[in-house]
Structure 1
């Protein structure tokens, strides 16, 4: 996965999180939207945002 695609994937997730703050947001749901495994998505998210997914949410 190249850096640009990785950042775009996380950007889309951040947008989704921001638009759905009043709802329950699950890592598995975000990973599915990104087309990644939950494990890989969490690693990528933490690398890009410097926080684990659920801590950010």
Structure 2
């Protein structure tokens, strides 16, 4: 599994949505979710995504 990476900008974005005092577990979970979204967007920008028709075909196999 590739390591998750988050930009400083992304980290600041997540942090800015929290109050002055945070529950650490929720904050860490939000950071992980944001990092996964950043990773997915980067993959799409590199053309590594699947088109909708291929996604539907894969889902039919489930």
**What interval of TM-score do these two structures reach, taking the shorter chain for normalisation?**
0.3 to 0.5
By percentage of residues, which structure has more helix? 1
Q: Which has the larger radius of gyration?
A: 2
